[in-house]
Amino acid sequence: MAYLNENYLKLKAGYLFPEIGRRVAAFTSAHPEAASRLIRCGIGDVTEALPAAARDAMHAAIDELGDRTTFKGYGPEQGYDFLRVAIAENMFQARGLDVAADEIFVSDGSKCDTGNILDIFGQGNRLGIPDPVYPVYVDTNVMAGNTGDADSTGAYEGIHYLPCTEANGFMPDVPSSEEAPLDLIYLCSPNNPTGAAATREKLQAWVDYARQHGAVILFDAAYEAFITDPAIPKSIYEIPGARECAIEFRSFSKHGGFTGVRCAFTVVPKTLLGSTRDGRKMPLHPLWSRRMTTKFNGASYIVQKGAAALFSEAGKSEVNALIAHYLGNAAVLREAAQDAGLTSFGGVNAPYIWVKTPNNLGSWEFFDVMLHKLNVVVTPGAGFGAAGEGFFRISAFNSRANVIEVGRRLREEL
Ligand SMILES: *Cc1c(COP(=O)(O)O)cnc(C)c1O
């Protein structure tokens, strides 16, 4: 008999997007006339074409592989130097940040990296996870056996939820000194789903907390490219002391429209230490390097060439245009939400607008109003955690025409 990993049985089986799909399908089959009017502002996926600089580089890379004199087989598991150096120079060193190319590990996605990182941490860490947040952090800890069962509200035993509320600007505050210290802390800034971005002061408080307690911060900066406010840090390494306590995840998915191409990276500073049970402090960098060389054979050469091209002059201006497009959409949506009398947050340093449901409706109740009355699909906040109840997320990943039409419906049809 092969025994299965019973931790998977604790998971609340992928409730959010399947349930949205079920409700949309039920609505369109009951109202086929409304199907063509339906606009999806639900899923956090990019919509605009891949930058030409990346396409050209990938075409050229394919041609290299088509000639045996320039053919390439397996590459370095940590990523090709041309990409690691381009990332270190353009995203960190050019901004005065101390991150070296060999501290960068290229992968096929931040979703995988944020889950796989648990391979290098032991059992029994006290986990701090924001609520609401990208569901991957909770679910991968459940799968790894780091939690107990979920209670009736969906909260897992063994996770210390860090509420993101209007009062704290939707970015968690460090726990009070009476609470047992956290060991592993997830932060996502700019945040999915709330669109909030952490201030320097807040990140400094977390870095100080982590250093005081020997904790590690897992910092997901997937939406870093959307930060417009120069006072908001794009990297945790802008905070003094972060090299001693933080791992940063970045992705080309939202940055360069690479959700379908697949390329991301993780920064593990060589100065970051973890602790053995008997109290010896050891660097985490060799563990992640070993994890990548053992369980991963590197991201595709073609894809890495495409990602590196995003740092060319042409690539940078195309990335800027993509980001400007989505942030322009976000501005249209924010204004429309305001005109419709809704209270909204985010959408300035992030492609998500976080909107309070009117009249104290539940997230799913308002989802149904948006679907049935406006024929617009949004994402119920409760799907990202209990503290998301009473909110919904509108994604700015769309065409401008769709976004303008959603804005019109919010003003005229709500
Ligand atoms: C989209 C997203 C990512 C990126 O995941 P990839 O696997 O690189 O596409 C990471 N974190 C968050 C919070 C995201 O929303």
The string of pLDDT tens digits covering residues 321-335 is: 999 999 999 999 999
Nearest to 72 by CA among 299, 264, 312, 308: 299
Nearest atom in ligand 1 to 220's CA: 11
Same domain assignment for residues 137 and 255: yes
> What does the alpha-carbon distance between residue 413 and residue 33 come to, in Å, rounded to a whole number?
17
> What does the alpha-carbon distance between residue 344 and residue 334 come to, in Å, rounded to a whole number?
7
pLDDT in tens, 14-70: 678 889 999 999 999 999 999 999 999 988 899 999 999 999 999 999 999 999 999
Helix 313-339 vs helix 52-65: angle between axes, to the nearest 10 degrees?
A: 140
Residue nearest to atom 11 of ligand 1 (CA): 222
The answer to whether the CB of 111 is under 6 A from ligand 1 is yes
Residue 5 lies inside a defined structural domain of this protein: no
User: Got the DSSP string for 351-388?
Assistant: SEEEEEPGGG--HHHHHHHIIIII-EE-EEGGGG-GGG
Write phi, then psi, for 289 (nearest 5 degrees): -60, -45
Q: pTM here?
A: 0.97
Nearest to 221 by CA among 256, 180, 264: 264
Residue 12 has pLDDT above 90, yes or no: no
DSSP 240: T
Cis check for the bond before 163: say yes or no (omega within 30 of 0): no
Residue 6 lies inside a defined structural domain of this protein: no
Q: How many domains does the chain have?
A: 2
Using the Cα atoms of residue 235, residue 237, residue 243 and residue 244 in order, give the sign of their dihedral.
Answer: negative
Confidence of residue 264 (pLDDT cuts 50, 70, 90): very high
Tell me how far the alpha carbon of residue 222 lies from the centroid of ligand 1, in angstroms. 6
Residue to substitute in 47, 110, 189 for testing ligand 1 pocket (most ligand atoms within 8 angstroms of CB): 110
Same domain assignment for residues 72 and 131: yes
Same domain assignment for residues 318 and 284: no
Contact 411, 340 (CB under 8 A): yes
pLDDT score at 201: 98
Tokens (6 digits) for 82: 């041309």
CATH code for the domain of 355: 3.90.1150.10
Tell me how far the alpha carbon of residue 278 lies from the centroid of ligand 1, in angstroms. 35
Residue whose entry in the numeric block shows the structure tokens 């191409």: 261
Nearest atom in ligand 1 to 264's CA: 8
Q: Provide the 10 A C-beta neighbour count for residue 352.
A: 28
Q: Which of 309, 331, 352 is the last residue of a domain?
A: 309
Tell me how far the alpha carbon of residue 264 lies from the centroid of ligand 1, in angstroms. 9
Residue nearest to atom 4 of ligand 1 (CA): 110
Residue 293 lies inside a defined structural domain of this protein: yes
Q: Which of 274, 309, 344 is the last residue of a domain?
A: 309
Tell me how far the alpha carbon of residue 134 lies from the centroid of ligand 1, in angstroms. 8
Residue 125 lies inside a defined structural domain of this protein: yes
Same domain assignment for residues 331 and 297: no
- Residues 196-215, mean pLDDT to the nearest whole number: 98
Contact 222, 9 (CB under 8 A): no
Residue 138 has pLDDT above 70, yes or no: yes
The answer to whether the CB of 140 is under 6 A from ligand 1 is no
Residue 4 lies inside a defined structural domain of this protein: no
Nearest to 102 by CA among 250, 269, 247: 269
Cis check for the bond before 286: say yes or no (omega within 30 of 0): no
Residue to substitute in 187, 192, 218, 310 for testing ligand 1 pocket (most ligand atoms within 8 angstroms of CB): 192
Tokens (6 digits) for 75: 């590459």
The answer to whether the CB of 194 is under 6 A from ligand 1 is no
| Amino acid at site 48 | E
Range of the domain at 388: 12-49+314-413
CATH code for the domain of 213: 3.40.640.10
Same domain assignment for residues 354 and 267: no
Residue 38 lies inside a defined structural domain of this protein: yes
Residue to substitute in 17, 253, 258, 379 for testing ligand 1 pocket (most ligand atoms within 8 angstroms of CB): 253
Paired with 393 in beta bridges are 354, 379
Same domain assignment for residues 16 and 108: no
The answer to whether the CB of 379 is under 6 A from ligand 1 is no
The answer to whether the CB of 251 is under 6 A from ligand 1 is yes
What separation, in Å, do the N-terminal and C-terminal C-alpha atoms of the chain show? 57
The residues near 262 (Cβ < 8 Å, ≥ 6 apart) are: 108, 109, 253, 299, 300, 303
Mean pLDDT, rounded, of the chain: 96
Same domain assignment for residues 384 and 256: no
Residue nearest to atom 12 of ligand 1 (CA): 222
pLDDT score at 43: 80
Tokens (6 digits) for 231: 């006072």
pLDDT in tens, 304-327: 999 999 999 999 999 999 999 999
- Residues 75-86, mean pLDDT to the nearest whole number: 98
Q: Provide the 10 A C-beta neighbour count for residue 115.
A: 17
Q: Which of 309, 330, 365 is the last residue of a domain?
A: 309
